[in-house]
Structure 1
Amino acid sequence: MHRFEKGNVIVELDDAEAVLPKSEQIPQERFRQGETIRAYLLEVEKGSANPSIVLSRAAAGFVKRLFELEVPEISQGIVEIKSLSREAGERTKIAVYSKEERIDPVGACVGMRGSRVRDIVKELHGERIDIVRWHDDIREYLPAAVSPAEITKMAIDRSNKSIVLTVPKDQLSMLIGKKGRNIRLASKLIGWELIAEVEEDPALTVPLSEVPGISDKKRKVLETAGFETVQKLLKADMEELSALEGIGVKTAEKILAAGREELEKRKEEKKKEDRVKEEQLKEAEKQKEEARAEEEASKETEESEEEVPAVEEGAGNDKEDAEDDAAAEDEEDPESGEGTDA
């Protein structure tokens, strides 16, 4: 590193100078004058006597090159980097593949006890790296790409290259990731649009047959069209509903209103049930704590009772022993005058 210019770093090469722009640096990283910098050759701008050489540490290509340098199997062509997505300073996802079945491409990149990937992470100042196995079947590839989130269902639209991912409620934040980073990087990695959807709670699934105010005739029309539950009905387009046989705009609005009302009612009932269960769990936990406390107190009492007799036995004989000793001394003392003639 040679000098700084308005946030840019000017790097001195053998016979030229290169610039590492502020925009191509890893966020928050700092450089010292004279230190050696590893960077990716991003661009060479020709057209003058001194061509402009632009370097980058933020480009995805920089991470790819680091893996090529650190993992011999990649440079030898045994392991191939199929795809890579990156948000510099935060997280990188890299998909690797090997034609040789005996080779574990992910393990090769990680290294013994993580030694290889650890060196790369150190160079990137702690940037998180997810290494996943590439697969030509999107159903096999996708779960690894969005890891650590666990998918329960995926709806693939091949014509639009989009996938709706259904996950349990407690997995949603993990799927999306901090600031949407996990799902965004996974989308770039596989080249498909990814849409997150929360799995419906079975307890809140309301069949149309349980919604008051919908006649059997209209219900059958709706079910035939694929709207068997209130949840599916509420996702429908008004035009689509009103176009069904025997169902106009006004009827569709009434059906939707009835469905929403029934769903809200079920949600309130479930909230009450959940509160009751929560209170029951708290009470059960409280009883367990009390039982443990009683057991501990009982043990302490038993231990103290075992120790007390030994102490009392010694203490109770002290007075008797003292009296016996005094009597013996009186008998043996020649100066006492007792036992002699006058």
Structure 2
Amino acid sequence: MATAVSANRLELLQIADAVAREKTIDKEVVLSAMEEAIQKAARSRYGAENEIQAQIDRKSGEIRLFRIIEVVEEVENPATQTDLVSARERKPDAAIGDILADSLPPMDFGRVAAQTAKQVIVQKVRDAERERQFNEFKDRVGDVISGIVKRVEYGNIIVDIGRAEAIVRRDQLIPREHFRNGDRVRAYIYDVKREQRGPQIFLSRTRPEFMAKLFMQEVPEIYDGIIEIKAVARDPGSRAKIAVTSNDHSIDPVGACVGMRGSRVQAVVGELQGEKIDIIPWSADPATFIVNGLQPADVAKVVMDEENRRIEVVVPDDQLSLAIGRRGQNVRLASQLTGWVIDIMTEADESQRRQEEFRQRTQQFVAELDVDETLAQLLVTEGFSDIEDVAYVDAAEFASIEGFDEALVSELQRRAREAIEAQTAAAEVRRQALGVNDDLAGIDGLTPQMLVILGEAGVKTLDDLGDLAADELINSEDGILRTFGLSEEEANAIIMSARAHWFADDAKADGAA
């Protein structure tokens, strides 16, 4: 680059052209960088206080230098400003705000000036190259790209992808795979960031999207949109599940992805270091999709909790280990694939649990309704789960059960309502003993039993409740009110009611202000 500033006029344009081609950037950017470098060198010659402008003729390569002076009413810096009287001596029609350009004689650049110019040009060209790389790759996020391993640093691999470098971090590599310098690697671009040292292009071989893109390359029907990939779940290097569906009923999506004698799926398996792949037919019905997702295990029965996106799967005793998989891998991947929490139990476990629930509900009815065990069992068999069901079910519907007459139904409902009133009164006493605030007790949707549970958890005021999130109330693992069957919408409404006084206080404060 030192030659660039001492070269003859034609060479200057040839050098700019060569640099632009080599770095794949606009020639105008290189010429602008040269002009800036010449300006910096000229300032060191004519004085840094001067405003110097350099121009390179785009056709001849001739360099022209100008000292820029602004016409002002009151001169503060004589090096860059002049008054109107002096300006009109040089240009009769000069006006305030005009810019005058004094031509400067050509200069020979010394060694220091040439070195300074070289540094400016190199830096400008490097910045332009980085910008070009960022603009080129920022729109390629989501693509699969091939490159050559350039070097390995602390387990991360730096990949030459042509006109840029990319990085595959150690945690984005498939376990137990090793690359050496010169190896070819395929990976998925998942992020491109503009950083001070240049654009950082991040690649991954472990993301589910990488597998989906590989299938798209191997299966023309996916590329054409006839077959659609609905979901992918991976345990990188070990096992994966991919759910596919066909938009053409005459094409089997699973068969198309497997290919003739497994050729298509084996091509993907080979790229992923032998990762076993289960290709699952997708279904719009969650239960069917989950049953498919647990392949190769057979499922006997499912019980769904749609509100919490949780499903209980019952399998034959001899299928339990297959359904769960080694170290829980099969059920974990099925859960990731479907987006549902999957609980697996054997038929024997389910039968035992049903018997225990039957026994507990029977005892509850015996104790709370003061009836014999036979009648309590009959209530459970007919689908009554608690005394609220007994108290508030339609009397005519209740009486239609075989063996129940109006007198019996009336008596059972009376006892159920008395039991509920007694529980409510006891809960109210307990609530007050816990110190749960009356304002909190006045919120719609909170029963005395809920207030007791809140009080025992330390939630005793409107502010205590307002500070909570809905998940802290209804989370199936540790939500404070998880046993009361509240929906997320109901939980949010309760919390917003508790927060209402905050907004009222803010409004008063604004009014006072």
Whether TM exceeds 0.5 here: the answer is yes
The one-letter code matched in structure 2 to 1:102 is: S
Among 119, 133, 137, the alignment partner of 2:285 is 137
Which whole-Å CA distance do the structure 1 matches of 2:343 and 2:158 have between them? 42
2:199 aligned partner: 51
Residue 30 of structure 1, CA deviation: 1.1
Gaps of 5+ in 1: 233-242, 247-342
Higher relative contact order (CA 8 A, sep 6+): 1
Equivalent position SS for 2:215: helix
Deviations 1:213-259 (A, max 9, x none): x998034324413599xxx9xxxxxxxxxx9899xxxxxxxxxxxxx
Equivalent position SS for 2:206: coil
Residues paired across the two proteins, number? 234
2:208 aligned partner: 60
Residue 160 of structure 1, CA deviation: 1.4
Deviations 1:241-292 (A, max 9, x none): xx9899xxxxxxxxxxxxxxxxxxxxxxxxxxxxxxxxxxxxxxxxxxxxxx
2:343 aligned partner: 195
The one-letter code matched in structure 1 to 2:263 is: S
1:262 aligned partner: none
Equivalent position SS for 2:202: strand
Which whole-Å CA distance do the structure 2 matches of 1:199 and 1:137 have between them? 23
Which whole-Å CA distance do the structure 2 matches of 1:93 and 1:220 have between them? 50
Deviations 1:14-70 (A, max 9, x none): 121111110000000011210110111121111335111111101111111100111
1:93 aligned partner: 241
2:376 aligned partner: 221
Equivalent position SS for 2:283: coil
2:178 aligned partner: 30
Which whole-Å CA distance do the structure 2 matches of 1:13 and 1:140 have between them? 43
Residue 203 of structure 1, CA deviation: 9.6
Identical counterparts, % of pairs? 42
How has the CA–CA distance of structure 1 residues 43 and 202 changed in structure 2, closer, same or farther, with 3 Å as cutoff?
closer
Equivalent position SS for 1:197: strand
Equivalent position SS for 1:182: helix
TM-score (norm 2): 0.42
Which whole-Å CA distance do the structure 2 matches of 1:45 and 1:31 have between them? 24
Residue 172 of structure 1, CA deviation: 0.9
Gaps of 5+ in 2: 1-148, 386-414, 420-513
Residue 139 of structure 1, CA deviation: 2.9
Contact map agreement 2:314 2:350 (CA 8 A) in 1: no
Equivalent position SS for 1:38: strand
Contact map agreement 2:241 2:278 (CA 8 A) in 1: yes
Which whole-Å CA distance do the structure 2 matches of 1:66 and 1:6 have between them? 27
TM-score (norm 1): 0.62
Residue 162 of structure 1, CA deviation: 1.0
Which whole-Å CA distance do the structure 2 matches of 1:35 and 1:183 have between them? 36
Deviations 1:145-195 (A, max 9, x none): 100111111001111111100111211111111111111111111111111
Which whole-Å CA distance do the structure 1 matches of 2:351 and 2:314 have between them? 17
Residue 125 of structure 1, CA deviation: 0.9
Equivalent position SS for 2:184: coil
How has the CA–CA distance of structure 1 residues 201 and 9 changed in structure 2, closer, same or farther, with 3 Å as cutoff?
closer
Among 154, 164, 172, the alignment partner of 1:6 is 154
Contact map agreement 2:152 2:180 (CA 8 A) in 1: no
How has the CA–CA distance of structure 1 residues 203 and 56 changed in structure 2, closer, same or farther, with 3 Å as cutoff?
closer
1:178 aligns with 2:326: yes
The one-letter code matched in structure 1 to 2:265 is: V
Among 259, 264, 276, the alignment partner of 1:128 is 276
Spell out the pairing of 1:1-342 with structure 2 (5 A cutoff): 1-48=149-196, 50-200=198-348, 217-225=372-380
How has the CA–CA distance of structure 1 residues 94 and 202 changed in structure 2, closer, same or farther, with 3 Å as cutoff?
closer
Moved over 2 A (4+): 200-208, 225-228, 243-246
